[in-house]
Amino acid sequence: MTHNAADAFSLAEVVIALGVIAIATTAILAVFPVALTTGHSAQDATRAPEIAQSIIASLAAQAMNAQGNLNTAATIPPATTPVDLTSSTQYITYADNDGQLTDSASNAAYKITIFTNNSPPGFPTPPPAYANQVTVRVAAPAIAPAANQTYRDYVRIISKY
């Protein structure tokens, strides 16, 4: 079997083929950062309501004390500081990438701020406390300056009725 020069690729054909491959590879690699950003955004959009729902459900479950009044010491594990549902205050805790609450900001993916307002619209003004508006703000990333965070607010009124 004999080979002649007509059976081989020319240098120009090889250069053009490599150029097409280089352009295609560059275009494919350019999509990766956008895909990663979209993936993180989708994860945050899914995880934030899950975290807020668990916190609000925990507070609502502990809302009433034995006397039938709003509780002054509802806790959100593992937080050590109780949330007072009879006052207007702010509490900060954190959550990891799996949505598990933690007191430490070091490995946290989300910063959770719980705002309580003991004078929600439509309820008598305390005392006595009849209801409290609880706002759970889930911000990501946890340890970034506030201007660089995206956050979502979830609001619920917890009442003694």
pTM score: 0.74
User: What does DSSP assign to residue 77?
Assistant: T
pLDDT tens, residue by residue, 79-129:
667 888 888 889 998 998 888 888 888 888 899 999 988 878 777 665 566
Q: pLDDT band at residue 9, thresholds of 50, 70 and 90?
A: confident
Residue 107, exposed/middle/buried by CB under 10 A (0-12, 13-18, 19+)? exposed
First to last CA, the chain: 95
pLDDT tens, residue by residue, 10-52:
899 999 999 999 999 999 999 988 888 888 888 888 899 999 9
Name which of 80, 143, 81 is nearest 110 in CA terms.
143
